[in-house]
Structure 1
């Protein structure tokens, strides 16, 4: 096992762990900040629907060009790689724009909401009804608590296949670099597969191979099953269009999906995994926002402002910077806001299981790292 780098340079006692009494509930932030924001911030921004459709068009264009790759000289196939990267970014944008769409910040609910969300999430293999239950209802109401399916596993949880794969794939002090590369491209699929099978096959909170099992109504369960069939149909259609040709499939299907999923997972890994657990839903403590180059905020709809999103899930994402400014004015030094590179370094230098709400440990349970290590990073940024 690798030893944690630079952990001894961080004074883990300089910022005390917050007790449950010092946590602030999400609703308190909302009550404080909502009157300070313009009413326009809470109006749907339909321009992002156009962004979603543009990126679907980019994918269609990429597959159209790929249909002729068998006519290209092998020496020129590398010219397709920049397009594959652009297609990968389009998959990231589809996730983040669909994410905003499902929260109601793009347009008010209409007959178009469902089919657009279905198309937007299909490249992520995510049924929109599953997303509504998992993300909007469960994750946002139980962020980084024992009941959150998106949290790290507890050390005390059984060593199931789900826990083993996550320990193998996710950034941590003990991850193998080669498995981390696989994990960047595959962790979204593993996360999705775990939750889908938990709901479709069992729909019981006793399921132990997910971090936290949740249930859906029988109607939603049937809808999720049909949506899965529809998504499989879309992906099979793409593969048929590419004639199952190994070169076409590799360059225009596998590579863009791998790039897109890896890019999305960079954000998702840092959203909460480096933070402590909280019994009280305090987004400034259980979530993390990143400082990234402005081009990425422009491309990815300000997804780096994740704490801000957890306070106002349905706000127009263009106003996240304003929310951040208000948080820094009214709650100075409280939120987890660090550079993206430091956030990644934090994940790579700490274990990925919770020994308790405020302590990280690794798969063997021999290490004990205070979750407030994020505070030490934050104070140096």
Structure 2
């Protein structure tokens, strides 16, 4: 793909084919959130008050983890203004939905809505984009990471999905805090600390054994579920000079019942075309994209996308390829030669053509 278009260009061509109600908020999504809230509350009370066998606590903990993740998906939708439009109510409901993931609404809207959506897959401006190979020369940490053998690194990368959202959210707090006006910084910090204070406070009420099943294990499960989606959203796509959702985003496919439980979070390209539209209408958007630009649209089963992530590195080379600098293996990205069903790479003829002498010398051969 060599010709890029902005998300507005695509949206302008699809919008006339969509019903007017698709552009209105859908408050009924809150019924799903209420169901998850009641399930989570029931699980917390059951573990806290009943003398349950650890097996039952583990099963309840898994349900809590799924509920925490689903509430995060709903919180994402709420804070885009697709459920309610009143700002204070939007932020309040978004804060409640994101409470288990300990992310505040002001930070999320600055990090995700304002910055990530405006600069998707821009190496310098997108806070969620992975770096290009040139960053190796500037980062001792990156050089250390890429000295680890590829298979070992892939294993730990996937294992770390259980903590990545929490860690990245904390990093984004300090990354963006300076960008808020002084009077809002205390609010952003308070919105971040308050959920943590309630969960840590619960630790002293119920004890560590119960708290592990009530919060810690569910948080790890929720992180893994959320990051399984987020890691497939853009990490197989190229870095791009124009914010083109059909070039820089991937929609994954999951069973229909999973889409219902996860508020259609799998429709990610559609979300980047219409971020202020309820995900309820994303299947309709997908139909029109596939009619108009079938050769540009990227979708695949989530399992296949995760498998492709496992088999490819996360360091960009010349914007459109992925590179394993330690061995000089170069992989394509979506739209640029990557076949998820048959991952292949080419050997770089001379690694020094890409890596500085300093970096090449510090990376083991």
TM more than 0.5? yes
Query: Which of 205, 220, 230 lines up with 1:258 in the alignment?
Result: 220
Match of 1:207 in 2: none
After TM superposition, give the deviation of residue 94 of structure 1 in Å. Answer: 1.0
Measure, in 1, the Cα distance between the counterparts of 2:93 and 2:147. Answer: 34
**Higher RCO (C-alpha 8 Å, min separation 6):** 1
CA distance in 2: counterparts of 1:328 and 1:119, whole angstroms: 36
Q: What are the Cα deviations for residues 232-282 of structure 1, in whole angstroms up to 9, with x where unaligned?
A: 22222332332x23x212222111111111001000000001110111011
Q: 1:68 aligns with which of 25, 37, 49?
A: 49
Distance 1:187 1:86 in 2: 20
| Residues 1:174 and 1:235: Cα distance change in structure 2 (over 3 Å) | same
Residue of 261, 272, 277 corresponding to 1:299: 261
Q: CA RMSD in A?
A: 2.4
Distance in 2 (CA, whole Å) between partners of 1:103 and 1:123 is 19
Residue pairs, 1:353-372, within 5 angstroms: 353-362=315-324, 364=326, 366-372=328-334
| Cα distance change of structure 1 residues 168 and 84 upon mapping to structure 2, 3 Å threshold | farther
- Alignment of 1:57 with 2:38, yes or no, is yes
* CA spacing shift, 1:58–1:281, aligned 2, 3 Å: same
Deviations 1:150-206 (A, max 9, x none): 111222223255x5898799xx755252x2454021111221122222234xx3xxx
Q: Give the corresponding residue for 2:195.
A: 231
Q: Does 1:46 align with 2:24?
A: no
Q: Which structure 2 residue ranges, 5 or more long, are not aligned?
A: 343-365
Q: How many residues align?
A: 338
Q: What is the DSSP-based 3-state SS (H/G/I as helix, E as strand, rest coil) of the residue aligned with 1:368? A: strand
Matched, 1:323 2:285: yes
1:53 and 1:168 mapped to 2: Cα distance?
47
Match of residue 133 from structure 2: 155
Hey, what does 1:134 align to over in structure 2?
A: 111
Structure 1: 5+ residue stretches without partners: 1-17, 204-214
Counterpart of 1:120 in structure 2 is 97
In 1, the alpha carbon distance for the partners of 2:308 and 2:341 equals: 13
Residue 341 of structure 1 pairs with residue 322 of structure 2: no
CA contact (8 A) 2:332 2:338 kept: no
TM-score by length of 2: 0.86
Residue correspondence of structure 1 range 9-48 to structure 2 within 5 A? 18-19=1-2, 22-48=3-29
Distance 1:217 1:164, change over 3 A: farther
